[in-house]
A and B are shown apart, each in its own frame.
Chain A
């Protein structure tokens, strides 16, 4: 596939929440973060470089825009915002825009645009106020290489703000995204069509005006006039409609909903927003199609504000979709300096959200996570653009995240577990240990099996950098090492590549795993619980859930009396008959501090300390 231009890196220094902020980014950007973490400021930073609608005054920042962490040293500091763009070299128009801003000839080529707000170049001494500041915008490495205004015009950022009034925008002709479509339609009508419509309208108007009822009303008015002032002073009166020109008619076209029954003003807020987005999307296609733009960065702030969750997901799937094949440039048309008009939907979508619904449909590579760093005085960013995931990993994660609605991205810590049993029980034990997970922003994620690798990569330092622990079963087998051995070793190879693990003893591997937040029990979860003091309760659940024969019930009672005698295989098969999830759900009520298996406790304490 031919690449399309994308922002590959954003660096922000001393601006708003950001100090020495740097992220690498993928095709689209879905910026996820809590309120006030700086999502809108990140968009504004991009606007300082790319928004043609921003005035000089807007670009001349104030003291309030400096990073607060500078304290008393704001005056004298330099705000710098850098974006790097890449994947443009296959498109000659984009290459022409960005060709003299190249900082890396690649491949792929990388161009850089910089906004810098700094004390004036000719200033002697320390700046005294913002009046001593100026901004420069330049391409490449040389501050003298001023950015062309054309570049901003042809590759602009469009921002749909969080609390916009879609209904009002649709209602005013000047701002309405409907206007260009109607104007296009007006220009497209030929003379004959115009004449025909005009005639139909005139006829309809005349028909109305010539009706007897209408004429008689006119007569009544005329008569009264004559009575009042006499025939000399009375002007003859008739009722009619002033001729309507076709252009005025066309401009009077309004969006209707519900089969034409109601106007947009009667629509719900959600519908109005939806229509607004559809029109906006059409407008962007048109601008590119007509050569007024070569690419658009469309930033939509907090779309969740106005759309229903299921609609959110559908709409933003549309905006975040990968460009399809037919949208790619036909390279043959471009040669020897003869240009064809641009085609294709050239759009980079940038969303900010604190809605897991939208985060969950984001292509995995487009995620940008913003959160406060340890000291809480600056915002740090993490992105998945360059996380070392295989394609299979990616598909796996995408499926999972879609199902869990992306709650992972909002977690401050994650407990990765194998299945539903742990998903119910671990929070219960956490509660018992006075480590309330919700409070601390810790999520328990079931990976539905033992393939922890993709999650560990995603959460690790090359990904989202979210602290995590892994809970997994030892799974002993008759002959050879327990299954957990290979599992843990593979994870170690991810988190601490380098050492040769093959020669290490199982115990050594598990010890090492624990240092890297991977906790293993002594067998399998349920037998472990059985031995940890939950035997009686487990027996009762089984007996109440299953239609057991007498022999079965007695066997269970025997195990409960002497937990060491439990037949693990039979116990597990009984539990599976109940369903592990359901079983665990019922069992959760019995979780106490004393009964918490050691490996779960260790993991909970580890994650508690990590997010503290």
Chain B
């Protein structure tokens, strides 16, 4: 018997795909495949089953599959779904961000051999270090009060990969800043996140010998949310797939490309899909939303996509509500009317099925205060969240979930927690060290099992026993340590999450007792019964004076929000936004305006 470290559970689920030709075609693909997946079309399920099938049928360790995701959170969700199929984090399965892949599987093994000018050992700069390097360089070059922000430089670096090409000088200021910034980091022996991908691209572009080595280890490369991943990754993918013989399985939706401001470009996905040597598969059936919401979302996008509801008979609510009293008034409407009504409308519906979506974190503050005042708990995901979801904070949350009862059902799995834990070490720990770490974690977790209990002492304990000693010795975790510190702060007296219990810490994403409060960007990939889009006023959605490209991206963002809903969408606006000199009456969002008009017209036609 050939040794397989995989489970056959996927076979039981694979039958579900039979009724959906797109999903089936993707599942059966043998060569390069691009899956163009509309909202709610079961793309994650397709991806997960395909990964399971490849692991079981197409590759055998040490050869494996690398699955690149947009964020740490997406990786976590995929891992969770794979675990449900009995697929553990195996050594020949990589699920992680493009940064993680470049660091661990491209730069660490090969950068030094290729003579790449990066400092060794590879050490990631913390946000504080990158911010201060940028500020110093930019102010030295352009003076105090210079107009650029770090993300301007970030986008410039991601878009202009070829430093010898003429367009590198298209913005001489940013080119100078970038060069100075990179030099400053190198002097400090550091690289930043963008460097990982930029150097990764340089390595695979300039050194042919790396291709077979990567192909040998990762004969299949899967990419989720391709539209959000930007030019450097696209170059790496092209090089590996079309020069290096790596088989590509890419999933994405250009309509949901909302990271153009960071250098992403949905057109890259379509470019891939149009290649002759790539099988392009469309997923048209929407399992999530009621038909009316699907129609509305296509109207909002302004493009006919031909998406079909899985269940044509389902009814939907789409409401446009003006609350002239501003955001506070909108919040009052949410708290007093919409939430109670939503809960009453469908038996079994919980607070966790309701999401409030907004564009800017400051809007979230207003709603957070109102919810708190009305006695609702909430989960908030945006830049103003008390701490960022990074590898370590997510892992602590999952440890909390395990201790708070997850151990009974194996959700999350202990083995997964252990392998993530040992994976925080930058080098590959040897067997004994890995066993020692696993033992320490297992005994800690088993000692801290508690159905009731507060999160704060748990976090203090896990930090003292495990996390702090590790972060003290691992320079690569410096930035994550900062987020762990914030987590503690938020849980401490006077913090934003004071009094949170263990279970809720573990269930920070998706708890039935918490309303979801998140930005439109953060809502990508999520779904809720009821979606309440707030602050839909001109000047916020879109911002004033957006360029055409920005306007298109704002529209896609609006589309993303709309397509999160299963049963109901509420659009809230006031007709004005607060300005420096008082209210600016610019009217409601043109997207809302347009949508309501088109919807009315379309439904009158029927």
Q: What is the interface of chain A, defined by CB distance below 8 A to chain B?
A: 56, 89, 92-97, 99-100, 102-107, 109, 136-138, 140-151, 154, 290-292, 335-339, 341
Contact = CB atoms under 8 A, between A and B. Distances in A.
A146 B430 contact: yes
Given A95-B216, A102-B213, A337-B246, A149 B60 contact: no
Contact of B429 (A95, A100, A146): A146
B62 A150 contact: yes
A337 B54 contact: yes
A336 B109 contact: no
B215 interface: yes
B3 A291 contact: yes
B109 A339 contact: no
Interface stretch (B110-118, B340-348, B387-395): B110-118
A102 B106 CA distance: 12
B63 A339 contact: yes
Interface residues of B, number: 44
Contact of A102 (B109, B426, B432): B109
B113 A136 contact: no
Interface string B390-430: 00000000000000000000000000000000000011111
B32 to A, nearest CB: 8
Interface string B194-228: 00000000000001011011111101100000000
Nearest to A150: B62
B427 A337 contact: no
Interface in B51-88: 54, 58-63
Contacts of B1: 290
A233 to B, nearest CB: 55
22 contacts: A93-B62, A93-B63, A94-B216, A95-B213, A96-B63, A96-B216, A102-B213, A105-B113, A107-B209, A138-B430, A142-B108, A143-B427, A146-B433, A148-B91, A149-B431, A150-B91, A291-B2, A335-B245, A336-B31, A338-B247, A339-B60, A341-B2
Contacts, number: 112
Interface in B424-466: 426-433
B186 interface: no
Contacts of A337: 54, 58-59, 63, 219-220, 246-247
A105 B211 CA distance: 11
Given A92-B215, A102-B109, A106-B209, A97 B62 contact: yes
A187 B322 CA distance: 75
Contacts of B429: 146
Contacts of B108: 100, 142, 145
A95 B247 CA distance: 17
B113 A102 contact: yes
Given A105-B209, A337-B220, A146 B109 contact: no
Nearest to A144: B427
B54 A292 contact: no
A96 B430 contact: no
A144 B426 contact: yes
B59 A339 contact: yes
A510 B324 CA distance: 114
A338 B30 contact: yes
B217 A103 contact: no
A73 B213 CA distance: 42
A291 B60 contact: yes
A146 B427 contact: yes
A141 B110 CA distance: 11
Contact of A292 (B3, B210, B212, B214): B3
A148 B428 CA distance: 9
Contacts of B430: 136-138, 146-147
Contacts of A144: 426-428
A92 B63 contact: yes
Contacts of B245: 335-336
Contact of B112 (A97, A141, A146, A147): A141
A336 B212 contact: no
Nearest to A99: B213
A104 B63 CA distance: 21
B58 A338 contact: yes
Question: Which of A56, A95, A103 lies at the interface centre, i.e. has the most chain B CB atoms within 10 A of its CB?
Answer: A95
A92 B105 CA distance: 16
Question: Which of A141, A154, A339, A341 lies at the interface centre, i.e. has the most chain B CB atoms within 10 A of its CB?
Answer: A339
B162 to A, nearest CB: 23
B6 to A, nearest CB: 13
A106 B105 CA distance: 19
B439 to A, nearest CB: 15
A368 B471 CA distance: 48
A292 B32 CA distance: 29
Nearest to B433: A146
Contacts of B3: 291-292
B212 A89 contact: yes
Contacts of B58: 337-339
Nearest to B215: A92
Contacts of A143: 427
A93 B109 CA distance: 17
Given A337-B59, A339-B60, A290 B30 contact: no
Contacts of A336: 30-32, 219, 245, 247
Given A336-B219, A337-B54, A96 B112 contact: no
Nearest to B64: A96
Contacts of A140: 109
Question: Which of B112, B219, B246 lies at the interface centre, i.e. has the most chain A CB atoms within 10 A of its CB?
Answer: B219
Complex A-B, nearest 6 residue pairs according to Cβ-Cβ distance, in ascending order = A144-B427, A337-B219, A95-B216, A146-B430, A100-B109, A337-B247
A145 B427 contact: yes
Nearest to B429: A146
Given A93-B63, A291-B60, A109 B209 contact: yes
B63 A99 contact: no
Given A337-B246, A339-B60, A339-B63, A103 B428 contact: no
A150 B426 CA distance: 20
Contact of B217 (A96, A137, A291, A338): A96
Contacts of B54: 337
A290 B4 CA distance: 12
A92 B60 contact: no
A387 to B, nearest CB: 28
Contacts of A138: 430
Interface in B327-354: none
Nearest to A101: B109
Contact of A290 (B2, B212, B215): B2
Interface string B1-24: 111000000000000000000000
Contact of B219 (A92, A104, A151): A92
Nearest to A341: B2
Contacts of A290: 1-2
Contact of A99 (B109, B426, B428): B109
Contacts of B220: 337
B30 A105 contact: no
A105 B207 contact: yes
B431 A92 contact: no
Contacts of A145: 108-109, 427-428
Contacts of A341: 2
Contacts of A103: 113
A94 B60 CA distance: 12
B121 to A, nearest CB: 8
Contacts of A93: 60, 62-63, 216
B497 to A, nearest CB: 36
Given A142-B121, A335-B245, A337-B54, 4 more contacts: A109-B209, A151-B62, A291-B3, A339-B59
Contacts of B91: 148, 150
Interface in B234-270: 245-247
A56 B432 contact: yes
Nearest to A147: B430
A410 to B, nearest CB: 41
A290 B432 CA distance: 29
B426 to A, nearest CB: 7
Contacts of B59: 337, 339
